[in-house]
Structure 1
Amino acid sequence: MGKSSPDFDRLVVEIIRRHCGDITEGAVSSRTSKGGNYLSVTVNIQAQSREQLDNLYQELSGHEQVTMVL
């Protein structure tokens, strides 16, 4: 989740692709908050290892535009 901006979902997908490769069609969905201030992006992946998940989490949570990672 992060502040709503035109490129936020693209940013999240690019980070995930660096760690997971191609993302299947339909694996990405997004939803704007009620007030329109935030955008949540959901990406379904099949992780290959705990290390992959840890690295992905670190990059996402360390990005200045990302507010929360679940």
Structure 2
Amino acid sequence: MKESDPQAPKIEFPCPNYPIKVMGDNVPHYSRVVIEIIERHAPGFDQTIIRESVSRNGRFVSLTMEITATGTAQLQAMFDDLKGTGLVKMVL
């Protein structure tokens, strides 16, 4: 492998403590909707350590949490469901 060849880091599944950050519109039901979707795809994740941050102007909110990632199919389905809400702008 050449040094100039960028290669994505390899993730070994299952991957405990996998960070997920979800950013979207700051509306009253945003957190509930996001948490319900995450729980559907990563049942039993620790909801006590969710970090919430509101943007400076109050228009957006981000939720950061950790899940046990079981594979790329799980992560893609979670991403698709989150984006499908119309509330989520970005998932990292």
Range into which the TM-score falls when normalised by the shorter chain: 0.7 to 0.9
Equivalent-residue separation in structure 1 for 2:74 and 2:27 (angstroms): 27
Equivalent-residue separation in structure 1 for 2:39 and 2:47 (angstroms): 13
**Which string of whole-angstrom CA distances, capped at 9 and with x for unpartnered residues, describes residues 32-66 of structure 1?**
00001110111211101111111111111222111
Task: Considering fraction of residues, name the structure with more strand.
Answer: 2
Structure 2: gaps spanning 5 or more residues: 1-22
- Identity across aligned pairs (percent)? 34
- Which segments of structure 1 move beyond 6 Å, counting only runs of 4 or more? none
Equivalent-residue separation in structure 2 for 1:17 and 1:49 (angstroms): 15
Task: Considering fraction of residues, name the structure with more helix.
Answer: 1
> How big is the shift at 1:4?
0.7
Structure 1 residue corresponding to 2:52, chosen from 6, 10, 30: 30
Equivalent-residue separation in structure 1 for 2:47 and 2:89 (angstroms): 25
Local SS of the residue matching 1:68: strand
What TM-score results when the alignment is normalised by the length of structure 2?
0.69
Q: Does 1:5 align with 2:27?
A: yes
Query: Considering only aligned residues, what root-mean-square deviation do their CA atoms show, in Å?
Result: 1.2
Higher Cα Rg, which structure: 2
Structure 2 residue corresponding to 1:47, chosen from 41, 60, 69: 69
